[in-house]
Amino acid sequence: MQSPPCRRWLASHDPFWPRIDLTTLRHALDLCPSVSDVRLELATRVAVDHVAQDLAHWRKVLREQGYRYLEDLPVATDKQPGLACTYLRAVQVQTRQLLQRGFDSAAEVSHE
């Protein structure tokens, strides 16, 4: 009997942002086994940096309003995903793009 995979987490450089569960991310991206854990972690670190840069001003405003963590924000009542889910989705999309492009062109990823 195989034991369940060990959960791997990527801590953010800023505790405002949620930690990334690399095991869940790997499953969500449906990655083939040839993508190593190290490659996934590296791509995710770059993705987290890109998303954090894109949202830096917004984060600053929220911190000034007293929010210490993204998860502290109230969830909309219309059953829309919370902003933490939106952030995690942005990291997921950016990670997929980086893995598809390869790291030789990682510096070219747009911040638009």
The count of C-alpha atoms lying within 13 angstroms of the C-alpha of 16, restricted to the half-sphere facing its C-beta, is: 21
DSSP secondary structure letters along 7-76? P-EE--SSTTSPPEEHHHHHHHHT--TTS-HHHHHHHHHHHHHHHHHHTHHHHHHHHHTT-SSGGGSPPP
Of the listed ranges 19-28, 60-69, 82-91, the least confidently predicted one is 82-91
Tens-place pLDDT, residues 48-72: 999 999 999 999 999 999 999 998 8
Give the global pTM: 0.78
Give the model's pLDDT for residue 68. Answer: 93
